[in-house]
Chain A
Amino acid sequence: MNNNKQQLVLDIRGQICPSCLLIALKEVTINADKLNNKEMSILILSDDRHATATIPDAVHSMGFSTTISKTDDGYEILINKK
Protein backbone atom coordinates (compact mmCIF):
# COMPACT_ATOMS: atom_id res chain seq x y z
CA MET A 1 0.00 0.00 0.00
CA ASN A 2 1.37 3.30 -1.09
CA ASN A 3 0.86 5.74 1.77
CA ASN A 4 1.35 8.74 -0.47
CA LYS A 5 -1.53 7.64 -2.60
CA GLN A 6 -3.70 10.53 -3.64
CA GLN A 7 -7.45 10.25 -3.16
CA LEU A 8 -9.86 12.16 -5.33
CA VAL A 9 -13.24 12.62 -3.65
CA LEU A 10 -16.25 13.24 -5.85
CA ASP A 11 -19.26 14.38 -3.88
CA ILE A 12 -22.21 13.86 -6.22
CA ARG A 13 -24.89 13.41 -3.57
CA GLY A 14 -28.24 14.63 -4.82
CA GLN A 15 -27.40 14.01 -8.47
CA ILE A 16 -29.48 11.57 -10.44
CA CYS A 17 -28.97 9.56 -13.60
CA PRO A 18 -27.17 9.84 -15.85
CA SER A 19 -24.99 12.55 -14.32
CA CYS A 20 -23.57 10.18 -11.69
CA LEU A 21 -22.13 7.81 -14.26
CA LEU A 22 -21.11 10.56 -16.69
CA ILE A 23 -19.19 12.45 -14.00
CA ALA A 24 -17.56 9.26 -12.70
CA LEU A 25 -16.50 8.15 -16.18
CA LYS A 26 -15.10 11.60 -16.97
CA GLU A 27 -12.92 11.68 -13.84
CA VAL A 28 -11.81 8.06 -14.27
CA THR A 29 -10.79 8.78 -17.87
CA ILE A 30 -8.92 12.00 -16.97
CA ASN A 31 -7.07 10.25 -14.15
CA ALA A 32 -6.65 6.85 -15.83
CA ASP A 33 -2.82 7.04 -15.81
CA LYS A 34 -2.61 7.85 -12.10
CA LEU A 35 -5.12 5.13 -11.30
CA ASN A 36 -3.20 2.61 -13.41
CA ASN A 37 0.08 3.52 -11.69
CA LYS A 38 -1.68 3.09 -8.34
CA GLU A 39 -0.86 6.70 -7.47
CA MET A 40 -4.51 7.54 -7.02
CA SER A 41 -7.88 6.21 -5.98
CA ILE A 42 -11.23 7.84 -6.55
CA LEU A 43 -13.92 7.94 -3.86
CA ILE A 44 -17.42 8.73 -5.01
CA LEU A 45 -20.11 9.83 -2.55
CA SER A 46 -23.56 9.21 -3.94
CA ASP A 47 -27.09 8.71 -2.68
CA ASP A 48 -28.34 7.36 -5.99
CA ARG A 49 -28.95 3.63 -5.70
CA HIS A 50 -28.71 3.23 -9.45
CA ALA A 51 -25.13 4.57 -9.43
CA THR A 52 -24.02 1.67 -7.22
CA ALA A 53 -24.86 -0.68 -10.10
CA THR A 54 -23.95 1.40 -13.14
CA ILE A 55 -20.58 2.85 -12.01
CA PRO A 56 -19.04 -0.55 -11.08
CA ASP A 57 -20.47 -2.04 -14.30
CA ALA A 58 -18.74 0.60 -16.41
CA VAL A 59 -15.36 0.91 -14.63
CA HIS A 60 -14.86 -2.87 -14.28
CA SER A 61 -14.70 -3.09 -18.06
CA MET A 62 -11.97 -0.40 -17.98
CA GLY A 63 -9.81 -2.55 -15.70
CA PHE A 64 -10.61 -1.00 -12.34
CA SER A 65 -12.05 -2.49 -9.18
CA THR A 66 -14.76 -1.02 -6.97
CA THR A 67 -15.61 -1.34 -3.31
CA ILE A 68 -19.02 -0.16 -2.19
CA SER A 69 -19.91 0.70 1.38
CA LYS A 70 -23.04 2.16 2.86
CA THR A 71 -22.71 5.24 5.06
CA ASP A 72 -25.16 7.33 7.05
CA ASP A 73 -25.47 9.58 4.05
CA GLY A 74 -25.73 7.25 1.10
CA TYR A 75 -23.07 5.11 -0.55
CA GLU A 76 -19.31 5.33 -1.06
CA ILE A 77 -17.84 3.83 -4.18
CA LEU A 78 -14.06 3.45 -4.06
CA ILE A 79 -12.34 2.99 -7.42
CA ASN A 80 -8.85 1.44 -7.62
CA LYS A 81 -6.62 -0.38 -10.05
CA LYS A 82 -7.52 -4.08 -10.08
Chain B
Amino acid sequence: MKPESLVSITDFSKEEILDLLQTASRFEANPNQKILEGKVVATLFFEPSTRTRLSFETAVNRLGGRIIGFSDASTTSSSKGETLKDTIMMVSNYVDLIIMRHHLEGAARYASEIASVPVINAGDGANQHPSQTMLDLYSIYKTQGTLSNLNITMVGDLKYGRTVHSLLMAMSHFNPTFHFVAPDELKMPIEYKIFCEQHHIPYFEHSEFSEDVINQADILYMTRVQRERFTDLMEYEKVKNVYTLHNSMLEHSKDNLRVLHPLPRVNEISYDVDSNPKAYYFQQAQNGLYARQAIICKVLGIEV
Protein backbone atom coordinates (compact mmCIF):
# COMPACT_ATOMS: atom_id res chain seq x y z
CA MET B 1 0.00 0.00 0.00
CA LYS B 2 1.29 3.44 -0.90
CA PRO B 3 1.47 5.40 2.33
CA GLU B 4 -0.44 8.65 2.57
CA SER B 5 1.84 11.54 3.41
CA LEU B 6 1.10 15.13 4.34
CA VAL B 7 3.38 17.55 2.53
CA SER B 8 1.10 20.50 1.75
CA ILE B 9 -2.29 21.50 3.15
CA THR B 10 -3.60 21.38 -0.42
CA ASP B 11 -3.07 17.58 -0.30
CA PHE B 12 -6.26 17.49 1.81
CA SER B 13 -9.78 18.01 0.50
CA LYS B 14 -12.43 20.04 2.29
CA GLU B 15 -13.98 16.84 3.68
CA GLU B 16 -10.62 15.59 4.92
CA ILE B 17 -9.97 18.91 6.68
CA LEU B 18 -13.39 18.77 8.38
CA ASP B 19 -12.76 15.15 9.42
CA LEU B 20 -9.41 16.11 10.92
CA LEU B 21 -11.04 18.88 12.96
CA GLN B 22 -13.46 16.34 14.42
CA THR B 23 -10.60 13.99 15.24
CA ALA B 24 -8.64 16.85 16.85
CA SER B 25 -11.58 17.70 19.10
CA ARG B 26 -11.82 14.05 20.17
CA PHE B 27 -8.14 14.16 21.12
CA GLU B 28 -8.67 17.36 23.02
CA ALA B 29 -11.33 15.62 25.11
CA ASN B 30 -9.04 12.65 25.64
CA PRO B 31 -5.42 13.32 24.70
CA ASN B 32 -3.89 10.19 26.26
CA GLN B 33 -4.74 7.13 24.20
CA LYS B 34 -2.51 4.15 23.55
CA ILE B 35 -3.18 4.19 19.82
CA LEU B 36 0.47 4.11 18.74
CA GLU B 37 1.59 1.41 21.14
CA GLY B 38 4.30 -0.67 19.48
CA LYS B 39 4.91 1.95 16.82
CA VAL B 40 8.14 3.88 16.31
CA VAL B 41 8.14 7.39 14.85
CA ALA B 42 11.19 9.25 13.53
CA THR B 43 11.45 13.00 14.04
CA LEU B 44 14.13 14.12 11.60
CA PHE B 45 14.85 17.79 12.19
CA PHE B 46 17.57 18.74 9.73
CA GLU B 47 16.87 22.29 10.82
CA PRO B 48 16.21 23.07 14.48
CA SER B 49 12.68 24.03 15.50
CA THR B 50 12.01 23.56 19.18
CA ARG B 51 8.34 24.45 19.19
CA THR B 52 7.24 22.22 16.33
CA ARG B 53 9.42 19.29 17.38
CA LEU B 54 8.24 19.31 20.99
CA SER B 55 4.64 19.53 19.85
CA PHE B 56 4.99 16.54 17.52
CA GLU B 57 6.96 14.52 20.06
CA THR B 58 4.38 15.24 22.76
CA ALA B 59 1.66 14.12 20.35
CA VAL B 60 3.45 10.79 19.73
CA ASN B 61 4.20 10.27 23.42
CA ARG B 62 0.62 10.91 24.50
CA LEU B 63 -0.50 8.33 21.94
CA GLY B 64 1.90 5.76 23.39
CA GLY B 65 4.37 5.67 20.49
CA ARG B 66 8.14 5.73 20.71
CA ILE B 67 10.45 8.25 19.08
CA ILE B 68 13.85 8.14 17.43
CA GLY B 69 15.46 11.04 15.63
CA PHE B 70 17.61 14.11 15.83
CA SER B 71 17.05 17.80 16.38
CA ASP B 72 20.15 19.09 14.65
CA ALA B 73 21.58 17.77 11.37
CA SER B 74 25.16 18.64 12.36
CA THR B 75 25.33 15.48 14.48
CA THR B 76 24.15 13.22 11.64
CA SER B 77 25.70 11.67 8.58
CA SER B 78 24.13 14.34 6.38
CA SER B 79 26.96 16.53 7.66
CA LYS B 80 29.32 13.92 6.17
CA GLY B 81 27.68 14.46 2.80
CA GLU B 82 25.05 11.73 2.87
CA THR B 83 22.18 12.53 0.54
CA LEU B 84 18.67 13.07 1.85
CA LYS B 85 17.60 10.05 -0.17
CA ASP B 86 20.01 7.72 1.63
CA THR B 87 19.01 9.05 5.06
CA ILE B 88 15.32 8.58 4.28
CA MET B 89 15.82 5.10 2.80
CA MET B 90 17.72 4.03 5.91
CA VAL B 91 15.24 5.51 8.41
CA SER B 92 12.28 4.07 6.45
CA ASN B 93 13.58 0.62 7.37
CA TYR B 94 13.28 1.34 11.07
CA VAL B 95 10.07 3.27 11.65
CA ASP B 96 6.34 3.45 10.93
CA LEU B 97 6.24 7.19 10.28
CA ILE B 98 8.68 9.99 9.48
CA ILE B 99 8.12 13.55 10.67
CA MET B 100 10.68 15.87 9.12
CA ARG B 101 11.76 19.46 8.91
CA HIS B 102 14.33 20.56 6.36
CA HIS B 103 15.78 23.90 5.32
CA LEU B 104 15.52 23.00 1.62
CA GLU B 105 12.22 23.60 -0.17
CA GLY B 106 10.64 20.48 -1.62
CA ALA B 107 12.63 18.17 0.67
CA ALA B 108 9.48 16.72 2.23
CA ARG B 109 7.80 16.05 -1.14
CA TYR B 110 10.93 14.25 -2.31
CA ALA B 111 11.16 12.25 0.93
CA SER B 112 7.49 11.24 0.62
CA GLU B 113 8.21 9.84 -2.84
CA ILE B 114 11.12 7.66 -1.78
CA ALA B 115 10.07 6.60 1.72
CA SER B 116 8.20 3.33 2.21
CA VAL B 117 6.36 4.85 5.20
CA PRO B 118 4.24 8.03 5.43
CA VAL B 119 6.02 11.38 5.77
CA ILE B 120 4.65 14.42 7.59
CA ASN B 121 6.17 17.73 6.55
CA ALA B 122 7.04 19.76 9.64
CA GLY B 123 8.27 22.63 7.47
CA ASP B 124 10.40 22.74 4.30
CA GLY B 125 12.19 26.09 4.10
CA ALA B 126 9.86 28.88 3.06
CA ASN B 127 7.54 26.45 1.30
CA GLN B 128 4.96 24.54 3.38
CA HIS B 129 4.14 23.89 7.03
CA PRO B 130 0.77 22.10 6.93
CA SER B 131 0.49 21.12 10.60
CA GLN B 132 0.66 24.83 11.48
CA THR B 133 -2.22 25.42 9.08
CA MET B 134 -4.22 22.57 10.63
CA LEU B 135 -3.80 24.03 14.10
CA ASP B 136 -4.78 27.47 12.80
CA LEU B 137 -7.92 25.95 11.26
CA TYR B 138 -8.69 24.06 14.44
CA SER B 139 -8.28 27.25 16.50
CA ILE B 140 -10.60 29.15 14.19
CA TYR B 141 -13.14 26.33 14.23
CA LYS B 142 -13.03 26.01 18.01
CA THR B 143 -13.43 29.70 18.73
CA GLN B 144 -16.00 30.47 16.05
CA GLY B 145 -17.93 27.18 16.02
CA THR B 146 -17.52 27.07 12.22
CA LEU B 147 -15.03 27.74 9.44
CA SER B 148 -17.67 29.16 7.11
CA ASN B 149 -18.43 32.78 6.18
CA LEU B 150 -15.82 34.38 8.41
CA ASN B 151 -14.01 37.69 8.15
CA ILE B 152 -10.32 36.83 8.37
CA THR B 153 -7.99 39.79 8.75
CA MET B 154 -4.30 39.09 8.18
CA VAL B 155 -1.76 41.61 9.45
CA GLY B 156 1.97 42.15 9.02
CA ASP B 157 4.27 40.27 6.66
CA LEU B 158 1.92 38.90 4.04
CA LYS B 159 4.63 38.58 1.40
CA TYR B 160 6.98 36.03 2.94
CA GLY B 161 4.74 34.58 5.66
CA ARG B 162 4.10 30.99 4.57
CA THR B 163 1.50 30.54 7.34
CA VAL B 164 -0.79 33.19 5.88
CA HIS B 165 -0.44 31.75 2.37
CA SER B 166 -1.33 28.22 3.49
CA LEU B 167 -4.17 29.49 5.66
CA LEU B 168 -5.54 31.45 2.72
CA MET B 169 -5.51 28.36 0.50
CA ALA B 170 -7.09 26.15 3.16
CA MET B 171 -9.81 28.69 4.03
CA SER B 172 -10.77 28.99 0.36
CA HIS B 173 -13.15 26.02 0.84
CA PHE B 174 -15.21 27.95 3.40
CA ASN B 175 -16.41 31.17 1.78
CA PRO B 176 -14.28 33.65 3.74
CA THR B 177 -13.81 37.41 3.34
CA PHE B 178 -10.18 38.44 3.63
CA HIS B 179 -8.67 41.71 4.74
CA PHE B 180 -4.94 42.07 4.09
CA VAL B 181 -3.17 44.69 6.24
CA ALA B 182 0.48 45.15 5.29
CA PRO B 183 3.12 47.73 4.40
CA ASP B 184 3.75 48.16 0.67
CA GLU B 185 6.96 46.14 0.79
CA LEU B 186 5.21 43.15 2.37
CA LYS B 187 1.89 43.06 0.52
CA MET B 188 0.11 39.81 -0.32
CA PRO B 189 1.75 38.44 -3.51
CA ILE B 190 -0.24 38.75 -6.72
CA GLU B 191 -0.53 34.97 -7.21
CA TYR B 192 -2.61 34.67 -4.02
CA LYS B 193 -4.84 37.57 -5.07
CA ILE B 194 -5.40 35.83 -8.41
CA PHE B 195 -6.17 32.64 -6.46
CA CYS B 196 -8.85 34.55 -4.49
CA GLU B 197 -10.35 35.96 -7.67
CA GLN B 198 -10.47 32.53 -9.30
CA HIS B 199 -12.30 31.18 -6.24
CA HIS B 200 -14.65 34.20 -6.01
CA ILE B 201 -13.29 35.14 -2.59
CA PRO B 202 -13.66 38.83 -1.75
CA TYR B 203 -10.52 40.50 -0.40
CA PHE B 204 -9.62 44.03 0.65
CA GLU B 205 -6.15 45.50 1.02
CA HIS B 206 -5.18 48.10 3.61
CA SER B 207 -1.88 49.74 4.40
CA GLU B 208 -3.28 51.25 7.60
CA PHE B 209 -3.95 49.02 10.62
CA SER B 210 -7.07 50.84 11.81
CA GLU B 211 -9.78 50.08 14.35
CA ASP B 212 -12.22 50.16 11.46
CA VAL B 213 -10.64 47.05 10.03
CA ILE B 214 -10.31 45.37 13.43
CA ASN B 215 -13.96 46.02 14.32
CA GLN B 216 -15.23 44.01 11.33
CA ALA B 217 -13.00 41.01 11.96
CA ASP B 218 -13.86 37.56 13.34
CA ILE B 219 -10.23 36.47 13.28
CA LEU B 220 -7.23 38.75 13.53
CA TYR B 221 -4.22 36.79 12.30
CA MET B 222 -1.07 38.66 13.32
CA THR B 223 2.39 37.92 11.88
CA ARG B 224 5.85 39.21 12.58
CA VAL B 225 7.29 42.01 10.46
CA GLN B 226 10.91 40.92 10.22
CA ARG B 227 13.69 43.40 9.81
CA GLU B 228 15.69 41.20 7.44
CA ARG B 229 12.83 41.26 4.91
CA PHE B 230 13.38 44.94 4.13
CA THR B 231 15.75 46.18 1.46
CA ASP B 232 15.40 49.69 2.84
CA LEU B 233 15.94 49.84 6.60
CA MET B 234 14.46 53.35 6.75
CA GLU B 235 11.25 51.78 5.53
CA TYR B 236 11.44 49.16 8.28
CA GLU B 237 11.92 51.80 10.96
CA LYS B 238 8.86 53.61 9.60
CA VAL B 239 6.52 50.61 9.66
CA LYS B 240 7.85 48.41 12.47
CA ASN B 241 5.47 49.81 15.07
CA VAL B 242 2.58 50.61 12.75
CA TYR B 243 1.43 46.98 12.69
CA THR B 244 1.47 46.47 16.44
CA LEU B 245 -1.74 45.50 18.19
CA HIS B 246 -2.47 47.28 21.48
CA ASN B 247 -5.22 46.32 23.89
CA SER B 248 -6.98 49.67 23.43
CA MET B 249 -7.48 48.90 19.72
CA LEU B 250 -9.73 45.94 20.64
CA GLU B 251 -12.20 48.02 22.60
CA HIS B 252 -14.92 48.08 19.95
CA SER B 253 -14.13 44.77 18.30
CA LYS B 254 -16.70 41.97 17.91
CA ASP B 255 -17.33 39.72 20.91
CA ASN B 256 -16.37 36.63 18.95
CA LEU B 257 -13.10 38.15 17.68
CA ARG B 258 -9.99 36.12 18.48
CA VAL B 259 -6.40 37.18 17.97
CA LEU B 260 -4.14 34.49 16.48
CA HIS B 261 -0.39 34.49 15.95
CA PRO B 262 1.84 31.59 14.80
CA LEU B 263 4.49 32.66 17.40
CA PRO B 264 7.16 33.59 18.25
CA ARG B 265 6.00 37.18 18.56
CA VAL B 266 8.37 40.06 19.05
CA ASN B 267 6.62 43.39 19.29
CA GLU B 268 3.65 43.03 16.95
CA ILE B 269 1.30 42.20 19.83
CA SER B 270 1.84 44.37 22.87
CA TYR B 271 1.91 42.54 26.22
CA ASP B 272 -1.20 44.30 27.48
CA VAL B 273 -3.22 42.22 24.98
CA ASP B 274 -2.23 38.92 26.67
CA SER B 275 -4.79 39.21 29.45
CA ASN B 276 -7.62 40.12 27.07
CA PRO B 277 -9.94 37.10 26.65
CA LYS B 278 -9.77 37.73 22.90
CA ALA B 279 -6.05 36.90 22.90
CA TYR B 280 -5.88 33.31 21.75
CA TYR B 281 -2.28 32.72 20.63
CA PHE B 282 -1.18 30.61 23.58
CA GLN B 283 -4.21 28.29 23.39
CA GLN B 284 -3.60 28.23 19.64
CA ALA B 285 -0.17 26.72 20.26
CA GLN B 286 -1.74 24.16 22.59
CA ASN B 287 -4.24 23.23 19.88
CA GLY B 288 -1.20 22.23 17.83
CA LEU B 289 -0.91 19.11 19.96
CA TYR B 290 -4.43 17.89 19.14
CA ALA B 291 -4.17 18.89 15.48
CA ARG B 292 -0.90 16.94 15.22
CA GLN B 293 -2.35 13.89 16.96
CA ALA B 294 -5.14 13.96 14.38
CA ILE B 295 -2.69 14.31 11.48
CA ILE B 296 -0.52 11.43 12.73
CA CYS B 297 -3.53 9.08 12.94
CA LYS B 298 -4.78 10.21 9.55
CA VAL B 299 -1.54 9.46 7.67
CA LEU B 300 -1.20 6.12 9.45
CA GLY B 301 -4.76 5.22 8.46
CA ILE B 302 -5.87 4.80 12.07
CA GLU B 303 -9.55 5.48 12.73
CA VAL B 304 -10.14 7.36 15.97
Chains A and B bind each other: no
